[in-house]
């Protein structure tokens, strides 16, 4: 008995220590990323201010980057290619302008740049690489830069500032790795969310990211399910679609958006001795409500809408608690019919029909639709 108690105590102690070690390693990794980003921002600043000292010719700037790359790479190894130095330069120009860092934080920078030759630029770059960033600068900049350098290199390829701000906010809040950031960008998340909002709400996307306050905030047009691996042209059933979603439930939750928790598939309930099955049941912790999803590969019909209304009514009357909000029903279909939805369902209902597609959409097409919508 004593041995069992000791084993349990050691197990508890081990769990606590393991949590501390994991948290510590994550913190170290984040700090390394932050210092790298701050360092690259500082190097970009050195280069830009050197160029602004009077040497504005493009060929001169390229020569500087070439020489810097060769000498820094020889001394410090990887990370100082001409392309990367060019990214650092662009990083400083982009973010110092957008966030007015040069005006608000210039006094806290770890060095000041005067008029100097290429050798002086190299010396200051070396100093910045070897010395830690001053505490005041690091503290002020930490709130500005919270992603890895690879994230920022990708974000700088997004020309639209509002779109770039949106993806930066979402990558930070959702803790997206670079692969997921690219996937969300390639799927046109910003455009898909924008197309389901009014103009006032679109402006909020670039300032606050996706805020979930009401059912309409979580809707997208369309939902992109390319990660399921289903062939667009091949025959598949609703059961095949459901099984593919369950197999890729983590990716599906990311596509659904913020706050979703998976509860069940083919959730059965009985009413008047008849059995009914809801394809997928989720709970959204931000909206504090159940979200029921019905999958349809065929044409959207009024019978399908009526069936979902019955599902939602059942959950509201027999499943949800008094302190929870009304349930939401989403019919994922290949082709929706807005006119049919409006004439079938009563005003103010919580039933929504959204299209899905099995391939990445054309960002150009989504942008064109967004421009047409905003006129």
97 plus 182 within the same structural domain: no
Last-in-domain residue among 137, 153, 169: 153
Question: 115 falls in which pLDDT band (50, 70, 90)?
Answer: very low
Please indicate, yes or no, if residue 282 is contained in any of the structural domains.
Answer: yes
Determine the pLDDT at residue 99: 62
pLDDT score of 101 more than 80:
no
85 plus 186 within the same structural domain: no
118 plus 164 within the same structural domain: no
Closest CA to 309 of 269, 256, 352, 342: 352
Query: What's the mean pLDDT in 87-109?
Result: 67
112 plus 179 within the same structural domain: no
Tokens of 317: 């009357």
Please indicate, yes or no, if residue 341 is contained in any of the structural domains.
Answer: yes
Please indicate, yes or no, if residue 291 is contained in any of the structural domains.
Answer: yes
**Least confident span in 171-180, 204-213, 259-268, 362-371:** 362-371
Please indicate, yes or no, if residue 220 is contained in any of the structural domains.
Answer: no
Closest CA to 126 of 76, 84, 92, 78: 76
123 plus 94 within the same structural domain: yes
270 plus 312 within the same structural domain: yes
173 plus 279 within the same structural domain: no
Last-in-domain residue among 138, 153, 168: 153
HEC-encoded secondary structure of 18-42: HHHHHHHHHHHHHHHHHHHHHHHHH
172 plus 146 within the same structural domain: no
Question: 107 falls in which pLDDT band (50, 70, 90)?
Answer: very low
pLDDT score of 319 more than 80:
yes
Please indicate, yes or no, if residue 316 is contained in any of the structural domains.
Answer: yes
Is residue 263 a contact partner of residue 281, using CB atoms and an 8 Å limit?
yes
Share of the chain above pLDDT 70, in %: 77
**Looking at the chain, how many residues does it have?**
375
Tokens of 43: 């190097």
Question: 294 falls in which pLDDT band (50, 70, 90)?
Answer: very high
- Name the more confident of 96 and 87: 87
128 plus 176 within the same structural domain: no
Please indicate, yes or no, if residue 26 is contained in any of the structural domains.
Answer: yes
- Name the more confident of 30 and 210: 210
Please indicate, yes or no, if residue 221 is contained in any of the structural domains.
Answer: no
Question: 36 falls in which pLDDT band (50, 70, 90)?
Answer: confident
Q: C-alpha angle 127/131/132, rounded to 5°?
A: 140
Question: 254 falls in which pLDDT band (50, 70, 90)?
Answer: very high
Determine the pLDDT at residue 324: 96
Query: What's the mean pLDDT in 97-102?
Result: 58
What residues make up the domain containing 78?
A: 2-153
pLDDT score of 17 more than 90:
no
Last-in-domain residue among 133, 153, 173: 153
341 plus 375 within the same structural domain: no
Beta bridge partners of 281: 264, 292
Q: In Å, how far are 1, 19, 39 from 8, measured between CA atoms?
A: 11, 17, 46
Please indicate, yes or no, if residue 136 is contained in any of the structural domains.
Answer: yes
137 plus 169 within the same structural domain: no
pLDDT score of 128 more than 60:
no
260 plus 132 within the same structural domain: no
Residue identified by tokens 């999958």 is 295
Contacts 24+ apart (CB under 8 A), 79-85: 85/43, 85/47
Structurally, the chain folds into a number of domains equal to 3
CATH number at residue 276: 3.40.1350.10
pLDDT score of 31 more than 80:
no
For helices 178-186 and 161-173, the axis angle rounded to 10 degrees is: 140
Structure confidence by residue, pLDDT tens digits, 165-215: 999 999 999 989 999 999 999 999 999 998 878 878 888 898 899 999 899
Query: What's the mean pLDDT in 77-89?
Result: 89
Is residue 168 a contact partner of residue 190, using CB atoms and an 8 Å limit?
no
pLDDT score of 87 more than 70:
yes
pTM listed for this prediction: 0.76
């Amino acid at each position: 008995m004593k041995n069992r108690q000791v084993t349990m105590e050691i197990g508890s102690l081990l769990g606590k220590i393991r949590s501390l070690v994991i948290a510590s390693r994550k913190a170290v990794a984040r700090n390394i990323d932050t210092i790298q980003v701050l360092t690259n921002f500082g190097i970009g600043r050195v280069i830009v201010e050197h160029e602004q000292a009077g040497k504005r010719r493009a060929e001169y700037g390229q020569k500087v980057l070439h020489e810097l790359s060769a000498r820094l790479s020889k001394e410090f190894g990887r990370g100082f290619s001409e392309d990367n130095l060019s990214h650092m330069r662009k990083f400083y120009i982009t973010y110092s302008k957008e966030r007015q860092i040069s005006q608000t934080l210039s006094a806290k920078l770890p060095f000041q740049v005067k008029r100097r030759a290429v050798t002086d630029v190299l010396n200051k770059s070396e100093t910045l690489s070897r010395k830690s960033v001053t505490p005041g600068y690091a503290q002020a900049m930490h709130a500005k830069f919270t992603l890895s350098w690879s994230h920022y290199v990708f974000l700088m390829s997004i020309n639209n500032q509002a779109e770039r701000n949106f993806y930066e906010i979402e990558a930070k809040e959702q803790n997206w790795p670079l692969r997921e950031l690219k996937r969300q960008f390639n799927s046109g998340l910003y455009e898909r969310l924008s197309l389901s909002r009014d103009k006032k709400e679109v402006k909020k996307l670039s300032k606050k990211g996706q805020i979930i306050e009401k059912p309409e905030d979580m809707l997208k047009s369309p939902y992109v399910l390319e990660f399921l691996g289903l062939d667009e042209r091949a025959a598949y059933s609703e059961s095949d679609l459901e099984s593919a979603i369950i197999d890729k439930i983590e990716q599906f939750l990311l596509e659904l958006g913020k706050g979703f928790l998976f509860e069940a598939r083919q959730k059965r309930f009985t009413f008047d001795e008849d059995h009914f099955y809801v394809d997928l049941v989720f709970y959204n912790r931000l909206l504090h409500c159940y979200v029921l999803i019905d999958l349809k590969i065929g044409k959207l019909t009024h019978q399908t809408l009526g069936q979902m209304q019955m599902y939602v009514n059942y959950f509201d009357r027999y499943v949800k608690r008094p302190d929870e909000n009304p349930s939401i029903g989403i019919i994922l279909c290949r082709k929706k019919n807005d006119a049919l939805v409006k004439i079938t369902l009563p005003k103010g209902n919580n039933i929504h029909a959204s299209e899905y597609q099995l391939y990445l959409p054309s960002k150009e097409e989504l942008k064109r639709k967004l421009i047409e919508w905003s006129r």
